[in-house]
Amino acid sequence: KALAIRTDVRSEEDVRRLISMTIDKCGRLDILINNAGVAYRKRLEETTLEEYDKIMDTNLKGVFLCTKYAIPYIRESKNGKIINISSVGGLHGLPDFSVYCASKFGVNGVTESIAAELEGEIKVYAVCPGAVDTDMYRSIYSDRPPLKPEHIAEKVLELCLPDSKVTSGKIIEMQAPPVPQL
């Protein structure tokens, strides 16, 4: 059974409500997928403090809050998983995305750290897609072929399976296939 509840992941109150509603409606919590994210294509010196806070609060604080409040319930599951949707921007710095990259490097660091903390209890992963065909991507780029959201969903589904052999703490990079040159 899956459940989606609109939540501001920057708000501790909203996140507590999210977890509580999930337990009330489903009776348990086996898998958490942290997938909220925002980005601005801006040079660091042009980024406002408000933009910095929005990126960090959504991309990193949101992972912290959702994971913190979900762990006690996921721990009760036999095959508990936490999957953080990060970005290749968390593996390689990108020009004009310094704050976004910093937030995603943070997500990857948290992923590795909590995987070690929860070893033997909960498996934790980060999926780091390159460009994905979303409204956010199309607002920034128009000349590069993106991954389809379905490709990311397939990888996440693979990680959710009880018999997944992927090692906990793994940071999984995904890129779109190159465009054939004629």
- Measure the CA–CA gap between 63 and 106, rounded to whole angstroms: 10
Structural fold of domain 12-174: Rossmann fold (3.40.50)
**Per-domain boundaries in the chain:** 12-174
Nearest to 75 by CA among 117, 118, 35: 118
- Measure the CA–CA gap between 140 and 133, rounded to whole angstroms: 11
Which is the catalytic residue, given 40, 69, 73, 100?
A: 100
pTM of model > 0.95: no
pLDDT in tens, 3-12: 788 999 999 9
CA-angle at 38, arms to 36 and 43, nearest 5°: 155
**pLDDT value at residue 1:** 74
pLDDT in tens, 12-45: 999 999 999 999 999 999 999 999 999 999 999 9
pLDDT band, very low/low/confident/very high, at 147 (cuts 50, 70, 90): confident
Helix axes 98-117, 62-74, angle to 10 degrees: 20
Mean pLDDT of 111-121: 98
pLDDT band, very low/low/confident/very high, at 131 (cuts 50, 70, 90): confident
Catalytic, 137? Answer no
